[in-house]
Structure 1
Amino acid sequence: MDIQAYIESGILELYVAGALSEKENKEVYNLMLQYPEILQEVLEIEAAIIKLTASVSPVKHNDKILQAVKAHLGLTGTNSNVIPMPKYNWVTYTGWAASVLLAIGLFWTTTQNNQLKTDIQIVKTQQELLETQIANAKSNLEEANTLISVLRDNNITKIPLAGQGNFSSTYANVYWDKQQQRIYLDAEGLPEPPEGKVYQVWSLTLNPLTPTSLGTIDNFITDDNKIFEIENANASEAFGITLEPAGGSETPTMEFLYTLGVVNAG
């Protein structure tokens, strides 16, 4: 994803202004969680709006407005002790002045409400992100504790998967919990798949060679730890990982066999 192009598209300004649909708001929010650059840009936009709102506050223009009222009422004499006679009747003056004051009050109220809404949105966004970060940290801690217990369990079988052919520099490790019928795949040694492609994990029996799909790793790019828990009720004799089109394949594409490892019978 071209983050800079996305930022320059103008959609973040529409998000802050509340002009997007619910679906679009959700998409922007998810990208804020995934990309710190987008989150920072949203916060800067919101801060700029608050600053701009403050810069046009009517409080700063009270002197000019007062001078305009005085000019309209004919109160422009240099001698402050001399009050010139009005040119129109007082009802007209007071009505006009009241209208100006009412407009100032309405503008000030609107400005304050808009600033309050913006502040609330910023706080809400920050709170939601903090809650998400806490949830992610908790999830990562639980995942780390689970992995530690797996690594220390003598009943867990470790199967190293070595790189194959043109992908000899790649590697992975499978930790097989036969009792729980699941594996933990450590895929840190695999590069990010190209767009439109996914990694697919296979359980193999060797004689005859029979592959059984254990599914695709659709969240490979977004998963920071690159450790995936996968169900496996098969009597596996080997494990392999291939690169397949999005959605997976019925049989492995051997030209894109990245890693392969045989289960040690001993």
Structure 2
Amino acid sequence: MNIQAYIESGILEEYVLGTVSPQEKQEVECMSHIYPEIKEELLRTESALEEYALKHQTPPPASLKESLFAKMNFDSAQEIENTNIDETRAEDADSEPVPVISTIRPVAQDEPRVIDNVFNSVETKVVTPFWAKLAVAAAVLLALFAAWSASQLTEYKGSNEQLASEMSGMKTEMATLRQGFEYNQSLANLFRDPGYKSVHLAGLPKSPGSSVSAFWHIATNKVLLDVQNLPKAPAGKQYQLWSIVDGKPVDNGMIDQEFSGKVLTMKNTKPGAVAFAITLEKEGGVPSPTMEEMYVMGKVV
């Protein structure tokens, strides 16, 4: 499962806002128990929402409350209207009440019998309690606030994504600038260091536009290389640096394929080097240079 894609789908924000379906709610709770990354993001979202709501909370207009309560009819009491119920009491005021027993008069065999006052109807008017109306008003206010908060959160999330994208671009640009500055600073230090002898390797007929600078530390025979321009090496091929000492080529190592904008550290040469050259060889190098594949060369002055 792609956890990052699930986090970025927006379902965690909807879960925190309470706008997901029961099935989606169960899914989020299940996924948060299985994957710690989702649980951590869920907690972070809840914290961010709470922090944002507290920071940017705006009280609803006073007119909203007044308009809601003006539309509601709050009755102070429940009115119940009953029909009169006939009661028969005992002649003695101190005696217990005696229930009334309806008397059925004799009727003819074919005449239907009628029993009077069997049912006493009671008409009741139900009035909604005051607390219930308050609950409805509170629910309406809560729904309005939730919708407003969701809108603000969406806007805040969009701003954060745009800011993150801009910050990422700035970091990349700063890294490129820093790398370029360090590269130029290294070259400047090499040219100024009297311990290094700089040797310019100019392009040969094989590649007239090529240009490379070699820096040879006389005391330690350390060799550094700055490639200004060389064609990209074909597949299976690699450039190799050589120094000429006592009329013989000395292997100074293979040149990194990604040589642009770098000061490369090569193998040490031997005392008495009179020239440097670069040839294109098979990847990994050869013991002696291929003269037909020589791209640049420069004499030590």
TM range (shorter): 0.3 to 0.5
Q: TM-score, normalised by structure 1?
A: 0.47
Bigger helix fraction: 1
